[in-house]
A and B are shown apart, each in its own frame.
Chain A
Amino acid sequence: MIKGIDALMKASDLPDAFTAEPGSTLAFKTGDWRSLRPKLDREKCIYCAFCYIYCPDGVYQDMGKDEKYFKPDLDYCKGCGICAHECPKKCIEMVLEEV
């Protein structure tokens, strides 16, 4: 487990100089910032990788030549909707994140 700055950390438990080990943002899951979630219609998807390229957080993973689609990692997707906007086939819909 990579040590980072955790939410609700006491002042006395913070690391010296407010530092973190490299890659600590992996431990900082931003998925709960999301209010809209991308929903893919795989029937219309042409596996063009626009969502993968345009995603500002790099959360899309290539599912490979057999599956032929890209899947967002919802632990980190902030729900910005850029993938849906850029998709040439309009096969990504932003749906309300149900609590």
Chain B
Amino acid sequence: MAKPIGLEVSLAVSEAVRLCDCDVVAAYPITPQTHIVEHLSELVANGHLNAAYIPVESEQSAMSSCIGSSAAGARTFTATSSQGLALMNEMLYIAPVLRTPIVMAIANRALSAPINIWNDHSDIMSVRDAGWVGLFAENGQEALDLTIVSFRVAEDRQVSLPVTLNIDGFTLSHFIEPILLPTLEEVAAYLPPFKPLVKLDIAKPISMGLLGTPESYAESRKATDDVLLGSLSVIKKAFAEFHKAFGREYKAVETYKSDDAETVLLTMGSISETAMTAVDEMREKGEKVGLVRLRVWRPFPSEDFLQAVSKAKNLAVIDRHISLGVPFGPVCLEAKSLLYDAPARPSVTNFILGLGGRDVTREDFKEITQKAKALSGKSQSRFDLIGVWE
């Protein structure tokens, strides 16, 4: 039985990329993602990973290089954060339609302004419609495991789409945690060689990146949406086979003590572990509270989500981003729109916290639980910003 080793979570992601025998890494450093690609450049330079490391001049070039290398049949990885992700924006919308599998770790960080290098989810929310599969890790082991799963999902020929693996910047990326490293052989048995759906090949040329006229643009966007929605079953299968191979189980929607819960909290990312501790403490005092976490953010796991929350009396949706100009956060909007047609639906409230690296504590989840109960059956006109100084 392998022993866990102490490893910074960023480096665990890099090690996972090494174990996946990645062919091309094209990246530009940006806080708090830098350690991931810095360690990858060391692995390549020291001969531990046989890959081309492309030090590009911007994130726009990083993503362009990734699309090109993936189209040429290379297993491709990059990582970024915040402004870097924003600079990639135009290329992010291109990769899914070209069906180029790329794995991108995002050490989630707030978007400027004001300049802020700390954690929230405003970066990933800004590209939620781009067509990428989106997964969230809650701790270091998950970050390593889900990097491997991400390659498997991205390169599955039924999917052939790029994947973002979201890890909270600093609060997850910079922590040193005990991590089990699988062997190269174990990963190779789980992750088959990359056989691209379409490939740039001199012997058999194709044109990629065509003009989509008014007669074909809508059809092409719908075709990509069909593939993205259909990827959920592939993701679930990849989770199930990971469980079989490595003994660690993942689900599209994770639940914690939510079966008999009156009030359910909905979270994504590393704050879920704090929320679990808060749920335990509230349960000890007799509070019927539980937790539901979205592991898969795109494609939105609608049925699993509805099944997990529909029995609750109150649903407190926690967002880590303000969608400026809209009364509710993006996760809450998804939840509310799905629940609108549900035969039985909980009373939904929205809380935003942990913006720009503001600490998220167990007390915050206790406060949210009490507020959700107090608002039960009443309508909330706008999100409640927890811990705001006003």
Q: A7-B215, A8-B215 are in contact. Are A18 and B197 (CB under 8 A)?
A: no
In the complex, chain B residues whose CB is within 8 Å of the CB of A66: none
Which residue of B98, B205, B219 contacts A9 across the interface (Cβ within 8 Å)? B219
> Which of these binds chain A: B108-116, B206-214, B233-241, B378-386?
B206-214
For residue A36, give the distance in angstroms from its CB to the closest CB of chain B: 21
Say yes or no: is A22 at the interface (Cβ < 8 Å to chain B). Answer: yes
For residue B131, give the distance in angstroms from its CB to the closest CB of chain A: 12
Interchain CA distance A19-B100 in the complex, whole Å: 12
> Which of these binds chain A: B121-129, B220-228, B259-267, B339-347?
B220-228
Which residue of B100, B197, B205, B223 contacts A22 across the interface (Cβ within 8 Å)? B205
Say yes or no: is A1 at the interface (Cβ < 8 Å to chain B). Answer: no
Q: A11-B220, A11-B222, A24-B207 are in contact. Are A16 and B197 (CB under 8 A)?
A: yes
Q: A7-B216, A11-B219, A11-B220 are in contact. Are A17 and B207 (CB under 8 A)?
A: no
Interface contact B219-A21, CB-CB below 8 Å: no
Which residue of A7, A11, A20, A21 contacts B226 across the interface (Cβ within 8 Å)? A11
Chain A CB count within 10 A is highest, among B99, B210, B212, B218, for: B210
Q: A8-B215, A19-B198 are in contact. Are A14 and B220 (CB under 8 A)?
A: yes
Interface contact B206-A19, CB-CB below 8 Å: yes
Look across to chain A and name the residue whose beta carbon is closest to the beta carbon of B200. A19
Q: A16-B197, A17-B98 are in contact. Are A22 and B219 (CB under 8 A)?
A: no
Interface contact B207-A21, CB-CB below 8 Å: yes
Q: A12-B223, A14-B220, A16-B99 are in contact. Are A7 and B213 (CB under 8 A)?
A: yes
Look across to chain A and name the residue whose beta carbon is closest to the beta carbon of B215. A7
In the complex, chain B residues whose CB is within 8 Å of the CB of A12: 223, 226
In the complex, chain B residues whose CB is within 8 Å of the CB of A9: 215-216, 219
Which residue of B210, B213, B216 contacts A19 across the interface (Cβ within 8 Å)? B210
Interchain CA distance A16-B159 in the complex, whole Å: 11
Interface contact B219-A20, CB-CB below 8 Å: no
Say yes or no: is B160 at the interface (Cβ < 8 Å to chain A). Answer: yes
Which residue of B97, B197, B206 contacts A21 across the interface (Cβ within 8 Å)? B206
Which residue of A6, A10, A14, A22 contacts B207 across the interface (Cβ within 8 Å)? A22
**Binary contact readout A72-95 vs B (1 if CB under 8 angstroms, 0 otherwise):** 000000000000000000000000
For residue B196, give the distance in angstroms from its CB to the closest CB of chain A: 9
For residue B312, give the distance in angstroms from its CB to the closest CB of chain A: 37
Interchain CA distance A19-B207 in the complex, whole Å: 5
In the complex, chain A residues whose CB is within 8 Å of the CB of B197: 16-17
Say yes or no: is A5 at the interface (Cβ < 8 Å to chain B). Answer: yes
Q: A11-B226, A12-B223, A17-B160 are in contact. Are A22 and B206 (CB under 8 A)?
A: yes
In the complex, chain A residues whose CB is within 8 Å of the CB of B160: 16-17
Within 8 A of B (CB), among A16-41: 16-22, 24
16 new A-B contacts, CB < 8 A, other than A5-B210, A14-B219, are A5-B212, A10-B219, A11-B222, A11-B226, A16-B99, A16-B198, A17-B98, A17-B160, A18-B97, A18-B208, A18-B220, A18-B223, A19-B206, A19-B208, A19-B210, A22-B207
Q: Residues of A with Cβ closer than 8 Å to B?
A: 5-12, 14, 16-22, 24
- 13 A-B contact pairs sorted by A residue (CB < 8 Å): A7-B213, A7-B216, A8-B215, A9-B216, A11-B218, A11-B222, A11-B226, A12-B223, A14-B219, A18-B220, A19-B210, A22-B207, A24-B207
